[in-house]
Chain A
Amino acid sequence: MRTGKRTLLLAFLIGGVLLCAGAVIYWFSLNKGGSAATPPASSESTESPSLTALPPRGTAQPAIPERRRLTLEFPPQIRAGDSDLVRLTLEVDDLGNLTPTAQIGGNVIAGEVVEIPNLYESHHVIAEARFDLAGMEVRPAELVSEPLAPGNSVTFRWSIRPPDVGVYRGTIWLYLRFVDKQTGEESQKTVSAQLVEIEAVNFLGLSGEFARTTGVIGSVVGTIIGFPFFEEILRFLFKRRNKTKQVKI
């Protein structure tokens, strides 16, 4: 009886430790989830717009009178066999400065207002995106188009599923297609091409789905085998059932 109590105490202690460990893992995963990274400066990412020469007044190219921000959200690591989402958002940057800035010989000249024709008035603007990722299941795999309206955000979503373990590298392309409202003439511009690296992992050779199933079955089996009070509960229930049957007879 004494040994039984000691085992019961040990079982409760182990249960408590496991619960604490689970809580710590969950807390760490929540903290890691919000990590943000800024891509390295490239020809595509122009943090400070510095133009070598401004076009003369009156001959400026029609442009979109907004400063926008491109946000890419993806899982750098994913369980093999599981699916996840990749999201690309082209949103309006509220803090954007629309004043054109020129940089000549290291001196920055700011504040010269240039009349830029509004592109939305003369053209239909369509944002297009494509996710090229060899070896991984990507849906939709083809080019996705969304009309771009003034002040509105555009979001593209892809569902990805790695069939096997490995490192998958790909590119997310974002284009703008301009269609002239009068002539119907089309032109396309590449806005961004971001390199993406996603690692598909497994746990001791088990895929995500298999690990979850094994975990559920193992928890039930381990609880029945290992916890002594389970046996006592079952015995108590059976005794009660037998007593009820005897009373009925």
Chain B
Amino acid sequence: MRQIRIILGIIIVILSIALLAWGFLPARREIRTQPIPPAELQLPTPVSLYMQTLS
């Protein structure tokens, strides 16, 4: 009876610790880095001016 109680207790503790570990595990973070050249940070070119530049 005593041994059954101990085994039951240990199972409860193991399950509880698994739940705690999952509950407190810090979330993995993904970091995306994208370089932006100055050409991307300029005023939007009007269509008429863009066509003129190409020709």
Which residues does A use to contact B, with CB under 8 Å?
7, 11, 14, 18, 21-22, 25, 29-30, 32-39, 44-47, 49, 51, 53, 55-56, 59, 61-79, 82, 84, 90, 93, 96, 98, 100, 116, 119, 123, 176, 178, 187-189, 191-192, 194, 203, 206, 208-209, 211-212, 214-219, 221-228
Contact = CB atoms under 8 A, between A and B. Distances in A.
B12 A226 contact: yes
Interface of B: 2-3, 5-45, 53-54
B2 to A, nearest CB: 7
Given A74-B30, A194-B32, 11 more contacts: A22-B21, A25-B25, A36-B30, A38-B34, A51-B39, A62-B43, A63-B42, A73-B31, A209-B23, A212-B20, A226-B13
Contacts, number: 207
Contact of A63 (B5, B6, B27, B38): B38
Contact of A64 (B25, B26, B27, B38): B38
Contacts of A30: 26
